[in-house]
Structure 1
């Protein structure tokens, strides 16, 4: 048992209850309520109504078996520890989700950069391709024109340049 759980509010409250049970107040303090902190988040005091006016030290509440009381206290402590572990697990899970989100956001930014790079180069390639196509069309037109000029020149040469061939 750790020191922090040994000195928990439940343990201290139980200890105070045991003191009041074994050492009842004197007659002049019988009608005055005893205040003590509950250990919860509420800062309002709680009234201990287990004080009796009798001198023999008996309490007004029903008799509770000390073993049952110990079990109840152990169960409370166990439940607090389980709740603490659950909060820690939840916190760890939330941190894990935040880390994953951060990695996914970084990955998304990297993919966006790469996509922009590919789109930019794609536009450059499309422009170059369009320029090369128009240049190809112009060169084909020039080639066709030169071919026609050569054919015309060839026919004129063959008919007039060699008069002996007839």
Structure 2
């Protein structure tokens, strides 16, 4: 039973929704955990509140010395809901997109003189969707550089990351 529960708690699937605009990529990410799990947690929270109130009537306020953490946690968990993380990656003509071969990640960097104005990673569900995204990016930003790399760390070998050292040498 605990193996099935830990699968949702420690390794939940992600649902990602993307929206490509002329300013960049806006995306939302949410853990796919069944609503039943949230209802169970909220049910335990209400039971915990009831137990704490009954203990306060039977034992008195001293009951909260031992059960105080459970009472506070229970009040916090009564409104337990799934979270929706909203993020964005800014893109323009100066952006460099690092396309990981045989992976569903695209890393973006916008270089500025002496520093990076913005960088971000986008995780896509399938390779087919990644290719569609890259084709849309090429049509919206025809001068944007797209570099294919094997590993994410290989992006740091690109000249966009080495311009800081070149600027200080001059």
TM over 0.5: no
Give the TM bin, normalised by the shorter chain.
under 0.3
| TM, length-normalised to structure 1 | 0.19
- Choose between structure 1 and 2: higher helix proportion: 1
- Choose between structure 1 and 2: higher strand proportion: 2
Specify the structure having the higher radius of gyration (Cα): 1
